[in-house]
Structure 1
Amino acid sequence: MKKKILILIITLSFLNCKKTQQDNGKLNIVTTTTMITDLVTNIGGNYINVQGLMGSGVDPHLYKASEGDVTKLVNADIIFYNGLHLEGKLVEVFEKMQSQTKTRIALAEEIDKNTLIGSEYFASNYDPHVWFNITYFKQFAKKVTQTLSEKDPENAAHYIENEKEYLSKLDRLQQKIKTTIDTLPIEKRILVTAHDAFNYFGKNYGFEVVGLQGLSTATEAGVKDVQKLAAFIIDKKVKAIFVESSVPKRTIEALQAAVNSKGHEVVIGGTLYSDALGNAGTVEGTYIGMFEYNVNTIVNALK
C-alpha cells in the first residue's frame, strides 16, 4: 500500500507541481546525504540555493522520500546524490524522474569501479560508503565544480576558486589525520562498529573493520552475530567498540554486555559519525570536522 501511495505522490507531483523553491536567479540544487550537502555548499557558496533532503542522524539506507521531498526534487535544476545504491529507498523516485529534463549526478558512480570495495548487500555490487576515502571525496568536489560551472558559466570562476580552497583543506585534513593515526600501533587498529561503514577508512589507514550489522543497516543483527563478534573481541583483546549516530545504539550495547558477561571488559569508546554528519553549526556538522572528530575518538579509545 505504501509503495502505491508513493508512486501516486510522484506521479501527481510531476503533473501538478508548482515551483516552490527560491526563484532568485540562482541554481536550485537538491542533495541527499549531509556529506554531499556540505560539499556542494562549500563549492557553490552564495551563488546557489541548496536544499538537503537528509539531516543529522538520518540513515540514508532506510530513508524514504516524503511528498515534500518529491516536490524539491522535481523543482531542482541539479540533483547530487551518492549513488551505488546508498539511498536505496530513493531509487524508485529517481527512476520515475528518468523523463524529466534535469541534471542528476550520482557522484560515487564517477569513481573507477576497479578501485571500489565489492559488496553483495547492494544492487550496485559495491560498498557505497566511499566518502571515507578522502581522495574519492576530492573527486566528488571536482565533479560538483564541473557540473555547476557547466550549468552556470557566469559564476564558473567562483566555483573553481571555491574548489581550489576546499581541496587545500582536504589536503591538510589528510595530513593531520595520518599524523594522529600513526600514534596508534598497527596491532590496536581494530575498529568494531554498528555496521560496516568504515571499510574504505580501514583500507586506507590499516584498520581491521568489523560491523555488527554488515554494510547495510537494513539487515538486522541476530543473537549468533552478537556472540560471534563477542568471541572475536575477546580473542583480539579489543579495548573499545563504537556506536554510530545514525544507527540505534542498542545492538552495540548488547554486544558490550555479551563480551563483559564472559569476563572481558570492553567499553563503548564513543559515537562515530558514519552515514550522516553531526548537527548543523557544530564541528561535526561538516565533513572535515566529522572526519577529524572520528579519528580522534577512535585513536583515543583504542590506545
Structure 2
Amino acid sequence: MKIIILFAVIGGLLFSCNDTSTKKEDNTFDIVTTTSMITDLVKNIGGDKVVVHGLMGAGVDPHLYKASEGDVSKLSNADMILYNGLHLEGKLVDVFERMKKQNINAIAISDALDKKDLISSTLFESNYDPHIWFNIGYWELMTLFVADKLSNALPESAAYFQDNAQKYLQQLKELNVELRNEIATLSQDQRRLVTAHDAFNYFGKAFGFDVVGLQGLSTATEAGVQDVQETAAYIIEHKVKSVFIESSVPRRTIEALKAAVNSKEHEVSIGGTLYSDALGDPNTEEGTYIGMFRYNVKTIVKALK
C-alpha cells in the first residue's frame, strides 16, 4: 500500500513539474543521485554547472533504503536522476521504472557497462552483482557515460563536462596504479577477504582476491547459522587473520562470525571497517570515491599482512 501511495504522490508531482507553466525560475540544472558514490562522481564532472542532490549519505544501505517525503520532492523537481541500477536501490526500483515510462530523465549508470562484463548471480533478483563501483576500470566507463549524459542535456557546457571527466579519469588511473602497488605487498595466499556481505566481488576479480561475504549480495537477506559456520570453516582452513565490518551493515554478524571462529581455537581479529555501499562522512577523505578506495585497500593490506 505504501508503494502505491508513493507512486501516486510522485505521479502527481511529476505531472505538475513537467508542465511548462511551472518551469523553475532559478535556471539551475538539478540532478538527484542515489548513492554517495554517484553523488561524488557527478560533482566531479558537473562542477558548478549543476546542482547535485544526493539521497543517501554516509553509512546508508541502498539495498534497504526507502524514499522519504523529502526525497519525493527532490525527485519531482529533478532535471535528471542518476542511479546505480541492477536492483541495488531495491526499494526504489519500481519508482524509477515508473518514471521512465512517464519520460522522466532517470538514468541507470550501470547502462554504461556491457552485461557480459558483469558478475552474474542466481541468488539476486537482478541476476547481476550491482556493486560495480569496486572495479576502477568500470568506474572510468561510468565517468565517460555520465559526462556524455550531462553534455547531451547541457550542450553549451559540454566542453566543461568532458574536460572535468578527463581530469577525473587521470586521477582514477593514478589511483589504480597506487593500489596495485599496495596490494602487491600481499602474497597471493594472503589475499582472502571476508566481509559482512558480498559487496567486494568486483574488487576481488580486479585485484586478485578470494572474496567471501557472510551475507549475500543484498543486505535484505540475513546471515543464518549455516552461513556463519561455513564461513568460519573457510577462515580456519585458510588461516585467515582478519575479517572486516562494513560501514553500512550492522556489525553483529561479523562479531558472531569472530566468536564462532574463536570457539574452535582459531584466533581471528576484526581488521577494521570497510566502506562498501556508501562513502564516509562528507568533508573527509573517505567521503570521496578515491579516498574511500584508498582507505579500504590500506585497511585490508595492513590487517591481512
Q: TM range, normalised to the smaller chain?
A: over 0.9
Measured after TM superposition, the shift of residue 247 of structure 1 is: 0.2
- SS in structure 2 at match of 1:210: strand
Instruction: Tell me the equivalent position of 2:293.
Output: 291
Q: Contact 1:76–1:102 at 8 Å: present in 2 too?
A: no
Q: Is the 8 A contact 1:10 1:96 kept in 2?
A: no
Q: CA offset at residue 156 of structure 1?
A: 1.1
> Which residue does the alignment assign to 1:301?
303
Tell me which moved more, 291-300 or 148-157. Answer: 148-157
- Aligned pair partner of 1:65 in 60, 67, 75: 67
Task: Please say if residues 21 and 28 of structure 1, whose CA atoms lie closer than 8 Å, have aligned partners that are also in contact.
Answer: no
Deviation of 1:50 (Å): 0.4
Any unmatched runs of 5+ in structure 1? none
Which of 90, 93, 96 matches 2:92?
Answer: 90
Question: Which residue of structure 1 aligns with residue 258 of structure 2?
Answer: 256
For 2:142 and 2:298, locate their aligned partners in 1 and report how far apart those are by CA, in whole Å.
24
Instruction: Name the residue aligned to 1:132.
Output: 134
Shift of 1:275: 0.3
Residue 30 of structure 2 is matched in structure 1 by: 28
Q: Deviations over 1:55-74 (max 9, x none)?
A: 10000111111122122112
**Partner of residue 217, structure 2:** 215
Amino acid at match of 2:80: I
Which letter maps to 2:171?
K
Decide whether aligned partners of structure 1 residues 23 and 142 sit closer, same or farther in structure 2, where only a CA change above 3 A counts: farther
**Amino acid across the alignment from 2:38:** I
Residues in 2 aligned to 1:211 and 1:191: alpha-carbon distance in whole angstroms: 8
Q: How many aligned positions are there? A: 303
Q: Is the 8 Å Cα contact of residues 14 and 77 (structure 2) preserved in structure 1? A: no
Q: Hey, what does 2:144 align to over in structure 1? A: 142
CA contact (8 A) 1:17 1:71 kept: no
Distance 2:173 2:3 in 1: 44
* Equivalent in the alignment of 1:13: 13
TM-score of the superposed pair, with normalisation by structure 1: 0.96
How much identity, in percent, do the aligned residues show?
A: 62
Deviates more, 1:155-164 or 1:14-23: 14-23
Q: Deviations over 1:207-227 (max 9, x none)?
A: 000000011101000111111
TM-score (norm 2): 0.95
Q: 1:104 to 1:5 in 2, by over 3 A?
A: closer
Comparing 288-297 with 100-109, greater Cα deviation is found at 100-109
* Native 8 Å contact 2:99 2:106 kept in 1: no
Question: 2:131–2:202: 8 Å Cα contact kept in structure 1?
Answer: yes
Partner of 2:195: 193
Q: Which moved more, 1:245-254 or 1:73-82?
A: 73-82
The 5 Å alignment of 1:110-189 reads 110-189=112-191
1:225/1:123 Cα in 2 relative to 1: closer, same or farther (>3 Å)?
closer
Cα distance between partner residues in 1 of 2:80 and 2:107 = 8
In structure 1, give the amino acid aligned to 2:213. Answer: G
* Deviation (angstroms), 1:198: 0.3
The CA deviation at 1:13 is: 2.9
Letter in 2 for 1:67: E
Which shifted more, 65-74 or 133-142? 65-74
Please give the per-residue CA displacement for 1:29-79, whole angstroms capped at 9, x wherever unaligned: 110100000000000001101001111000011111112212211211111
